[in-house]
Amino acid sequence: NAGVTQTPKFRILKIGQSMTLQCAQDMNHNYMYWYRQDPGMGLKLIYYSVGAGITDKGEVPNGYNVSRSTTEDFPLRLELAAPSQTSVYFCASSLGLITDTQYFGPGTRLTVL
């Protein structure tokens, strides 16, 4: 199993550009999450999904959108990138119960200039 995969690993965007961060898992997990990690800080939840077709906002959703058309994929869309979105983005998944262990992808390092 590949676990949780994320692409790209690194990306530099100009202010105002858009992009999609890809996340996929092959563990048949129902729950998926997007977090961001700012320098020297812990992770903060952006969006989460409890199953295909169901998404909801986390703690810091502004400037982002998500979709969940399949169990495996949970892309994160950045519209009109801003310097404040410079961060490392982690995708995670868990089996199904609310407090199941979350397993994380390798992260995407995004810089907005």
Partner 1 sequence: AQKVTQAQTEISVVEKEDVTLDCVYETRDTTYYLFWYKQPPSGELVFLIRRNSFDEQNEISGRYSWNFQKSTSSFNFTITASQVVDSAVYFCALSEAGGSSNTGKLIFGQGTTLQVKP
Q: Shortest approach of partner 1 to residue 90 CB, angstroms? A: 6
Contact 59, 44 (CB under 8 A): yes
Asked if 88 interacts with partner 1 (CB under 8 A), we say: yes
Binding mask 47-86 for partner 1 (x = CB under 8 A): -x-x-----x-xx---------------------------
Asked if 2 interacts with partner 1 (CB under 8 A), we say: no
Output 16 or 51, the one with its CB closest to partner 1. Answer: 51
Asked if 104 interacts with partner 1 (CB under 8 A), we say: yes
Only one residue has tokens 């990306």, namely 11
Strands, E, within 26-107: which ranges?
31-37, 43-51, 54-57, 64-66, 76-78, 87-94, 103-104
Only one residue has tokens 């310097």, namely 83
Q: Shortest approach of partner 1 to residue 46 CB, angstroms? A: 10
Q: What is the DSSP string of 52-70?
A: TTEEEE-S--TTEEE--SS
Q: Which of 52, 47, 51, 49 is nearest to 65 (CA)?
A: 47
| Site for partner 1, rule CB under 8 A | 31, 33, 35, 40-45, 48, 50, 56, 58-59, 88, 90, 92, 94, 97-107, 109
